Amino acid sequence: MSESQQLKILITEDNIADCLIINKLVKDQGYRTVIAHNGLEAIESYKKEKPDIILMDALMPQMDGFEAAKRIKLLVGEDFVPIIFLTSLSDDISLVSCLEAGGDDFLSKPYNSIVIAAKINAFKRMVVLHRTVQEQRDEITRRNEYLLQEQKIAKRVFDNVAHLGCLGASNIKHLLSPMSVFNGDVLLASKKPSGGMIVFLGDFTGHGLPAAIGAMPVAEIFYGMVAKGFGVETILEEINKKLYTILPVGFFCCACIIDMDYSWQRIKLWNGGLMDVLLKDNKGQVLSYPSSHLPLGILSPDKFSSECVNGDMKVGERIYLFSDGIVDLRDKHGNEFELDGFAEFLLENKKPDEIFEHVIDQDRLSAEANAENNDDVTFVEIMMIADDVISVKHELVENSEQHGARDWVMSFEMFDHTIRDFNPIPLMLHVTMEVPELRAFNNDVCMILSELITNGVDHGILGLDSNLKKTANGFQEYYNLRNERLNQLSGESLHISLRHKPDKYGGGLIIRVVDTGSGFDVSKLNNEFPEVSQLSGRGIPLLRTLCESVVYEGSGNTVEAVFRWKNTQDDTKL
């Protein structure tokens, strides 16, 4: 329609003489014309010829211009086909009828070629503009559909990577409310192979896809490292290093990580840039864990600090984490969420089971309240629970993999500063998982290894008294002493050896840990079974539940634990 010749104009006029004049006038402007002599003909012509502009006489036999205009406007739908009424300006009443019928303009008799040219030109520009807008709108719609389709596929991949881990656990309640397909908030939770759980809440700068994309490496690192038995500090350092490398300047991730230790009823927490984490204890007090670090992805690895805060958290106590979006969450009265208000509410609350629901009640989640949201909202409640039920059943495993290392010995020794700086558990787990059948017992093996190694370092080499940990304040003293002594290590070593051997029914893993400490009275321990409820005596009974045998030798510097598993397959195979 760029050429004026291509513009088609429908002329509806019953008077043949007038029709001749206007047809000539329009044709002289270079437009194509189609003629109709009454309203009915005009409608038929419109359907057949699809004109761009319609000139319409008002009074005509059979069907007048008003009725024809109304019907054509219905047929036109969302297109724009201007209708210009041919009428005398002196007919006041009919002018109103023209407008009511959907007329866009008037041409009065006697016709004037300049006026006609100007009007048709003006409407031609509007028609072109309207079509351009429609084409662009359709193009935007098509692209948007394509984009949404792509996002849906990407979201599936994203959800598989940044999955919810163990967020379904009974001691976690959470609300994740993304403002678009992708969520700039990332909430991850994973059970530690050694028992307990680690929860990570991250809030990336911005929202939607650009914010969400950073969550993928975070989730990969988090789940991978937790499963391998790495501690929160190492995980944080790794995540920070990754985000520091990949995020553009000005983009970062406010985050909080909490290591929940069920057996010691302790938490280890790191908060970098998130709102205060609040803990309501069983005495009714509310403890606040404010941010004490810069968000992840800002500091280079050498400047980054993964130093965590340690604290008590008894069974039944609850801790609350929020992403910044929560301040946009309004209730139906338009009141914003306020951290101080929530802390007060926590303090006064007597029904802890209802706290979470109070914050995310129907008021706040109503569509109109959320319509004003301009950020992703995440709210999490985690309750401390008693120790996980430890799997003591050494379930029979399917021998599915023929290849793998089943008969080997490995020895590892670390000295002084390495004892302080290096966590050998991921390495040990990595090796033991080379036995295909042992993978099913990843958690058990991890727990045994960490107990043996912790005992070897803390009690064997550092000579710390586990009785210290019986009191809440004792914990801090214990950790202070531990750090102090770790820094003074000289000439000490911890030797770990692993031996895996297939047997008639499956296989056995023998773990020997030898420390250079001064040892202890073995006879006392080997005969004694401390009560399970005693916190600090937890280690040895746990080991004895999991292992076939746990024997301290010599002066107590050497311990040997045997973990045995059974195979479903015929024993002849091994």
**Contacting positions for another protein (CB under 8 A):** 14-18, 20-21, 24-25, 28, 57, 59-61, 64, 88, 90, 109-111, 113
Determine if residue 556 is left, alpha or beta; phi over 0 gives left, psi from -120 to 50 gives alpha, anything else beta: left
Shortest approach of another protein to residue 60 CB, angstroms? 7
DSSP-assigned letters across all residues of 94-123? HHHHHHHTT--EEE-SSP-HHHHHHHHHHH
Shortest approach of another protein to residue 15 CB, angstroms? 5
Closer by beta carbon to another protein, 20 or else 74: 20
Closer by beta carbon to another protein, 86 or else 243: 86
Shortest approach of another protein to residue 67 CB, angstroms? 13
Tell me how far apart the 2 most distant CA atoms of the chain are, in Å. 127
Closer by beta carbon to another protein, 17 or else 371: 17
Neighbours of 122 (CB within 10 A): 12
Closer by beta carbon to another protein, 29 or else 234: 29
Closer by beta carbon to another protein, 28 or else 361: 28
Q: What angle do CA 270, 200, 230 make, to 5 degrees?
A: 80
**Residues 6+ positions from 109 with CB-CB distance below 8 Å:** 18, 86, 87, 88
Shortest approach of another protein to residue 28 CB, angstroms? 7
CA distance 314 to 386: 9
Closer by beta carbon to another protein, 60 or else 225: 60
End-to-end CA distance of the chain: 82
Closer by beta carbon to another protein, 36 or else 278: 36
Shortest approach of another protein to residue 113 CB, angstroms? 7
Shortest approach of another protein to residue 68 CB, angstroms? 14
SS3 563: strand
- Extended strands (E) in 28-103: 32-36, 53-57, 83-86
CA distance 269 to 293: 11
Shortest approach of another protein to residue 52 CB, angstroms? 23
Shortest approach of another protein to residue 84 CB, angstroms? 15
**Residues 124/4, Cβ–Cβ less than 8 Å:** yes
Closer by beta carbon to another protein, 110 or else 334: 110
Closest residue by Cα to residue 352 from 315, 318, 312, 314: 318
Shortest approach of another protein to residue 57 CB, angstroms? 8
**Residues 300/291, Cβ–Cβ less than 8 Å:** no
Closer by beta carbon to another protein, 62 or else 141: 62
Closer by beta carbon to another protein, 110 or else 250: 110
Secondary structure in 3-state letters for 384-411 = CCCCCCCCCCCCCECCCCCCCCCCEEEE
Closer by beta carbon to another protein, 64 or else 259: 64
Closer by beta carbon to another protein, 65 or else 272: 65
- Extended strands (E) in 504-567: 506-515, 549-553, 558-566
Q: How far is CA 301 from the centre of its chain?
A: 24
CA distance 38 to 36: 6
Closer by beta carbon to another protein, 109 or else 439: 109
H or E, element range at 70: helix 65-76
Shortest approach of another protein to residue 59 CB, angstroms? 5
User: What is the phi/psi pair of residue 166, to 5°?
Assistant: -100, 30
**Residues 46/70, Cβ–Cβ less than 8 Å:** no
Shortest approach of another protein to residue 88 CB, angstroms? 7
CA distance 318 to 401: 43
Which residue shows structure tokens 């994309």?
Answer: 213
Shortest approach of another protein to residue 66 CB, angstroms? 13
Q: Given strand 8-12, what is the order of strands in its sheet?
A: 32-36, 8-12, 53-57, 83-86, 105-107
Shortest approach of another protein to residue 25 CB, angstroms? 7
